[in-house]
Structure 1
Amino acid sequence: MSILTTAGFNIGDVIIHRNQKFRGVIVDVDADFQGSDDWYDQYTTNQPSKDAPWYHVLVDEEGSMAYVSEQNIYTDSSNMEVEHPMVDDIFENYEAGHYMPRQTIN
């Protein structure tokens, strides 16, 4: 029996990381942690749940991508766009704190 997990954030949402304070835009969502145990042990500091949603995020002004747990992010209310070289490849436009994907992803 599987447990249905509902993500609190969507692709295109602009977020802030609680601990590291970086901003970014969500480009993909995993229902639960999909990394290795070694990665988890090395890169997580507060041992977030592996059973909650995890997000792939384009990091603002860095040109990098982060993999973050839902418990470590919150909505960015600054209404500022994210500066990342891949934003225009993935999203059509930005409006009111949210990016619209170029195509629907299943």
Structure 2
Amino acid sequence: METVTNIFRVKFSVGDLVHHKLFDYRGVIVDVDKDFQGTEQWYETVAKSRPPKDKPWYHVLVDQSSHSTYVAQQNLELDDSTAPIKHPMLELFFGKFEHGKYVRNDPMN
């Protein structure tokens, strides 16, 4: 019997700066889901462009804001700017900003 491995291809990783193609905002990725992990009600209400649920989705801290978003991979691209973002929760996730990318905090012992 053959085993099929569910391999997903993510374009972005935690710490990457991204740009939302539809809503024109910058942000930083703080988590990645291999597929949609929200509720059906949220998807029907918020995901108006009906992006695929079986592709990666990302948790993003939005620049110049205090909120985060949940975004389908198809709606993101790498941000051209290497400038840091401003968000009140940055320090909860990242310890430093190097070469246009955020670096995770050191794990606590």
- TM (norm. structure 2) is 0.90
Query: Which of 43, 56, 75 is matched with 1:53 structurally?
Result: 56
Matched, 1:90 2:97: no
| Cα distance, 1:4 vs structure 2 | 1.1
Query: Which of 62, 65, 73 is matched with 2:65 structurally?
Result: 62
Distance in 2 between residues matched to 1:2 and 1:36, nearest whole Å: 25
| CA contact 1:23–1:60 (8 Å) conserved in 2 | yes
Q: Which amino acid aligns with 2:69?
A: A
| CA contact 1:77–1:97 (8 Å) conserved in 2 | no
Q: Can you give the 5+ residue segments of structure 2 that lack an aligned partner in the other structure? A: none
Distance in 2 between residues matched to 1:19 and 1:36, nearest whole Å: 22
After the TM superposition, which residues 1-106 of structure 1 pair with which residues of structure 2 at under 5 Å, given as runs?
1=4, 3-103=6-106
Deviates more, 1:49-58 or 1:84-93: 84-93
| Cα distance, 1:90 vs structure 2 | 1.2
Q: Which amino acid aligns with 2:84?
A: E
| Cα distance, 1:2 vs structure 2 | 5.0
- TM (norm. structure 1) is 0.92
| Cα distance, 1:72 vs structure 2 | 0.3
Distance in 2 between residues matched to 1:37 and 1:63, nearest whole Å: 25
Deviates more, 1:87-96 or 1:59-68: 87-96
Give the total of aligned pairs.
104
Distance in 2 between residues matched to 1:31 and 1:50, nearest whole Å: 9
Residue aligned with 1:88, SS:
helix
Q: Can you give the 5+ residue segments of structure 1 that lack an aligned partner in the other structure? A: none
Residue aligned with 1:100, SS:
strand
Q: Structure 1 stretches (4+) deviating beyond 6 angstroms?
A: none
Distance in 1 between residues matched to 2:22 and 2:48, nearest whole Å: 9
